[in-house]
């Protein structure tokens, strides 16, 4: 999925390397909005639409050049983004969406942009989001030595955990499971130390016993602001990927991961590595 912006360009090396690694077909999709030009005289709309179409064709040609050497298909369509993307995803049996986002910080919340948010919230397949703070060497874009899987240890989607474990196995990576105790308002009422061992047992139960043979699982418990701690641990561990579970259209991924919507926004928009969101 591309709008030919710098954010989309930053995500492209990840998409190319994934396609090469798995021998997959890379679908480059660009969706042009319907021709509406607020503020421009109606008489000029035809000319402006032709200019947009010409620019889209030129950008598609350049994308074709960048995709040489990998099996690919470039599609330029027109309409509302999500209906077109959904049609392509289902019609071509897409296994993974790769998107770039220009996530930015507001005073009270993190904004990913409505397009990225809708895709992550509604996509039926996993979505790899490449945020604005990722400056990957194209040749090392798919390095997966460190994978971080935050968990709230509540009933949550299982597919994300399976992806985290499988990717760790396939890449012989270190898999870190992280649980964060949020700051309690009534400090001193409950001693977190009493819950350390039960929490570790619950975390260990999420990983197959044989996982130690290939993914070097580690279990980390932190206390504090959930988003800050997840980002802190990701930085400390030099994480190459963060994996989050997604419920679906009940809300943005934060609710799906039981971490809170604002938390998920911050993780995706501020992470220095890609974030994989998985539904189901």
- Decide if pLDDT at 32 tops 90: no
pLDDT confidence of residue 50? 80
| Residue 55, domain extent | 1-98
What is the 8-class DSSP label of residue 16? H
Residue with the larger pLDDT of the pair 108 and 43: 43
> d(Cα 25, Cα 159) in Å, to the nearest integer?
23
- Decide if pLDDT at 20 tops 60: yes
73 plus 178 within the same structural domain: no
117 plus 218 within the same structural domain: yes
Closest CA to 142 of 270, 29, 24: 24
pLDDT confidence of residue 211? 78
- Decide if pLDDT at 279 tops 50: yes
Q: Count the alpha carbons within 13 Å of 192 in the hemisphere toward its beta carbon.
A: 13
Q: For the chain, give the mean pLDDT.
A: 81
268 plus 280 within the same structural domain: yes
The stretch 179-205 carries a mean pLDDT of: 72
64 plus 109 within the same structural domain: no
88 plus 226 within the same structural domain: no
Q: Would you say how long the chain is, in residues?
A: 280
120 plus 71 within the same structural domain: no
> d(Cα 236, Cα 232) in Å, to the nearest integer?
6
128 plus 68 within the same structural domain: no
Residue at a domain's end among 58, 80, 98: 98
pLDDT tens, position by position, 223-266 = 888 889 999 999 999 999 999 887 655 444 443 344 545 677 78
175 plus 276 within the same structural domain: yes
126 plus 249 within the same structural domain: yes
Residue at a domain's end among 98, 119, 148: 98
42 plus 122 within the same structural domain: no
Residue 19: pLDDT band with limits 50, 70, 90 = very high
- Decide if pLDDT at 45 tops 50: yes
Residue at a domain's end among 46, 68, 98: 98
- Could you tell me the CATH number of the domain that includes residue 25? 3.40.50.620
- Decide if pLDDT at 57 tops 80: yes
pLDDT confidence of residue 158? 79
pLDDT tens, position by position, 67-98 = 998 999 998 888 888 899 999 999 999 999 99
> d(Cα 134, Cα 146) in Å, to the nearest integer?
15
- Could you tell me the CATH number of the domain that includes residue 219? 3.40.50.12370
Query: Among residues of the chain, what percentage have pLDDT more than 70?
Result: 77
pLDDT confidence of residue 240? 95
pLDDT confidence of residue 106? 42
259 plus 131 within the same structural domain: yes
133 plus 237 within the same structural domain: yes
Residue with the larger pLDDT of the pair 210 and 109: 210
Total domains present in the chain? 2
Secondary structure (DSSP) of 32-98: EPPS--TTS-GGGHHHHHHHHHHHHHHHHHHHHHHTTTS-EEEEEEES-HHHHHHHHHHHTT---EE
> d(Cα 114, Cα 36) in Å, to the nearest integer?
19
Residue with the larger pLDDT of the pair 159 and 211: 159
Return the C-alpha torsion angle 183, 267, 277, 201, nearest 10. Answer: -30
The stretch 117-132 carries a mean pLDDT of: 88
């Amino acid at each position: 999925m591309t709008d030919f912006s710098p954010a989309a360009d930053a995500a492209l090396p990840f998409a190319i390397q994934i396609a090469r690694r798995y021998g997959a077909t890379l679908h480059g999709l660009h969706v042009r909005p319907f021709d509406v030009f607020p503020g421009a005289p109606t008489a000029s709309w035809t000319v402006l639409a032709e200019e947009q179409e010409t620019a889209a064709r030129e950008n598609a040609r350049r994308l074709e050049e960048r995709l040489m050497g990998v099996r690919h298909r470039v599609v330029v369509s027109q309409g509302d983004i999500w209906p077109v993307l959904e049609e392509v995803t289902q019609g071509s049996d897409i296994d993974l969406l790769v998107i770039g986002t220009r996530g930015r910080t507001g005073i009270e919340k993190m904004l990913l942009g409505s397009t990225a948010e809708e895709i992550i919230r509604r996509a039926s397949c996993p979505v790899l989001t490449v945020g604005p703070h990722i400056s990957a060497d194209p040749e090392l874009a798919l390095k997966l030595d460190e994978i971080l899987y935050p968990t709230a240890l509540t009933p949550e989607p299982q597919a994300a955990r399976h992806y985290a474990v499988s990717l760790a196995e396939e890449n012989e990576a270190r898999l870190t499971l992280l649980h964060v105790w949020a700051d309690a308002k009534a400090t001193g009422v409950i001693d977190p130390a009493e819950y350390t061992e039960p929490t570790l047992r619950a975390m260990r139960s999420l990983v197959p016993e044989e996982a130690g043979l290939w993914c070097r699982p580690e279990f980390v418990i932190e206390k504090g602001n959930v988003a800050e701690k997840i980002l802190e641990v990701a930085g400390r561990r030099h994480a190459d990927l963060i994996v989050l579970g997604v419920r679906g259209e009940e809300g943005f991924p934060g609710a799906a991961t039981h971490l809170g919507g604002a938390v998920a926004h911050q993780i995706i928009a501020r992470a220095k590595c890609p974030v994989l969101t998985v539904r189901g």
